Amino acid sequence: MRCFRGICRKGGSRWVQASRSLATESSGFPDVPNAEAPEPSNPDPYANLPECSYSFEEGVSSEAIPKVYKDIRYHVEGSDHFGLDKAKISMKDYFAGDLHQSHKIFVGQHNNYKQGLKVEQRTFLDLRLVRLKSGNGGNGCVSFFRDAHRPVGPPDGGDGGDGGNIYVQVVKNMGLLHGLQRSYQAKGGSPGSSRQLDGKRGEDIILEVPVGTTMRWIPDPLAVKKELKGVSIADVTMGLRVTPDKDVQLYRNDYIPGEGWTFKEKDEEYHQERSYFTELNEQVKDYDREIIAEELANDRFPLRGLDFDKPTEKPILIMKGGRGGMGNMHFLTGDVRNPRFSKKGRQGLTEYFMLELKLLADLGLVGLPNAGKLTLLRAISKARPRVGHWEFTTLQPTIGTIFTRIDEDPFTVADIPGIIKGASENKGMGMDFLRHIERSGGLVFVVSLESKNPAQDLQVLIDEVGEKRMKGKKVMVIATKADLTKNGASYSELVNHIQSIDASWHYIPVCAPKGENIESAIKMMGLLARKDQEEK
């Protein structure tokens, strides 16, 4: 309930005296200064907020303080009135050192999903850029009570409805991101109406995503694409406001305190010349500051993003809609008897996000092209991927479920496109999909004994996957195409190389087409998967 000069509405059409005026209230929102009127000599910080949540900067000053949050490096060049760090961060550092080449989606260089659809008759979409907009608040109403014996009564214009919110719901029975649209917009609140009727609240949007999805805030993709012309991602620097909790502060670019009025008859210039309106507006400014302080407290998103690694019972609030504007019933005072003005609803929030799917599998298959991963996956699971005797047969990740005994839970294996030497330098396709083995509890390196030097192939895989992705994971090596080796010398060299790296690694030779050693390999993989499940 909001009141001015001691007049407020309380239930139906009854009017009562308020216990205190708005001018003595403060916001009390966490991490945001009290929304009090500024001193005459100081500029109003709520009237000088950034128009956008980000800016593109030329570089970092020598006086900037370097900071690290988890694996994100950035520099701080002072703080603002609200205690937020004025941070500068390169796009490469924002994407954690270009670990997955996720930035390539901005310039259309990410994996060609149309090729996968054409060749494998299925589409696999693990990255999606979405534009989200919460609903605008409805405008307040200008209306006056009328009945048979009272042609013009007191003001009774209702408030506008709040705009709809944006939520995310994490669900089990959803495998990919291809069902998501590129843009979602919640409904705006309805305007208020006469007889003190508030407008209807806007409908919310609930975005359903699969388990294993991560969500990152990103700047406008079109603006990023423009900045990337002729330069690398490391040369593009963003300016952000970062909270003490390491959240990105988002901004709505809406009207400042004291603005946002709608007038029914006389225009704003007429009212600004009247002392009764300017005095009332000074009190309304405090209310506006309170609303903006609430927006600043809510309009935040984690710098490192959100990791949806398990289903959620309730939807997670991402963005709140705009507050509805006040109707003219709030502005009846001793000096203003017929307020023919009301407040506009606040704007919703418009931001862009990157949704990145990381498949949840117990084990991840990693191998060079044509190492026999798909043939192995067909032999050990119920997955039926396309098999061919050429490099890069796998164009999209495949998940296989392996059943062992009726009294034991099955485990899953993720197969990703083959990795080649130099993959970390954007060669091949495997690096685009390495995110899908990060969540796996164990890694299974698949090495072909048909190769000239299997030990060297294994070392290439280890080098390209990297120590960071292998940290804390159980590892085993499956040597495929054992029937094509003559005297077993290549397998012996491979075993010696494995033991020199880590004696705890498991290893086994198999011939998938003939089914030789497949059951032993399944038991060994099941033991590896169950060890990880028990540790979790």
Tens digit of pLDDT for each residue in 452-478?
A: 899 999 998 888 888 878 888 889 999
What SS3 class is residue 319?
strand
Answer yes or no: is pLDDT of 444 > 70: yes
Average pLDDT over residues 150-164: 91
CA 156 – CA 159 distance, rounded (Å): 10
Work out the pLDDT band at 74, boundaries 50, 70, 90.
very high
Q: Which of 499, 398, 507, 357 is nearest to 116 (CA)?
A: 398
Who wins on pLDDT, 28 or 431?
431
Q: What does the block give as tokens for 391?
A: 């490099």
pLDDT band at 446 (very low <50, low <70, confident <90, very high): very high
Helix H or strand E segment including 297? helix 275-298
The CATH class of 361-529 is alpha beta
Confidence band, pLDDT 50/70/90 cuts, at residue 188: very high
pLDDT at 389: 38
Q: Where are the domains of the chain?
A: 48-122+219-252, 125-212+254-298+309-359, 361-529
Q: What is the mean pLDDT of the chain?
A: 81
pTM of the model: 0.80
**CA 104 to chain centroid:** 17
How far is residue 181's CA from residue 208's CA, in Å, rounded to a whole number? 11
Binned at pLDDT 50, 70 and 90, residue 393 comes out as very low
* Residue 68: alpha-carbon gap to chain centroid: 20
Provide the CATH topology of domain 125-212+254-298+309-359: Spo0b-associated Gtp-binding Protein; Chain: A, (2.70.210)
> In 220-327, at which residue ranges do the beta strands (DSSP E only) sit?
237-242, 247-249, 261-263, 300-302, 306-308, 316-319
Average pLDDT over residues 152-158: 90
Residue 68, Cβ density class (10 Å: 0-12 exposed, 13-18 middle, ≥19 buried): exposed
Q: With 90 as the cut, is the pLDDT of residue 286 above it?
A: yes
End-to-end CA distance of the chain: 50
Residue 102 confidence class, pLDDT cut points 50, 70, 90: low
- Check residue 256 and report its DSSP letter: P
pLDDT surpasses 90 at 513: no
- Say what the pLDDT of residue 472 is: 82
Q: If pLDDT is split at 50, 70 and 90, which confidence band does 50 have?
A: very high
Q: What is the DSSP letter of 69?
A: E
Residue 283: per-residue pLDDT: 93
- Looking at residue 386, what is its pLDDT? 41
What average pLDDT does range 92-107 have in this prediction? 64
> Residue 6's pLDDT is what?
39
Identify the pLDDT of residue 62: 86
- Of the ranges 57-66, 124-133, 493-502, which is most confident? 493-502
- Would you give the DSSP letter of residue 31? T
The answer to which of 73-82, 140-149, 464-473 has the lowest mean pLDDT is: 464-473
Quote the CA–CA distance of 362 and 168 in Å, as a whole number.
25
Cβ atoms of 427 and 410 within 8 Å: the answer is: no
Stretch 227-252: mean pLDDT: 91
Determine contact, residues 122/174, Cβ cutoff 8 Å.
Answer: no
Helix/strand/coil for 237: strand
Q: What is the C-alpha separation between 58 and 36, in angstroms, rounded?
A: 35
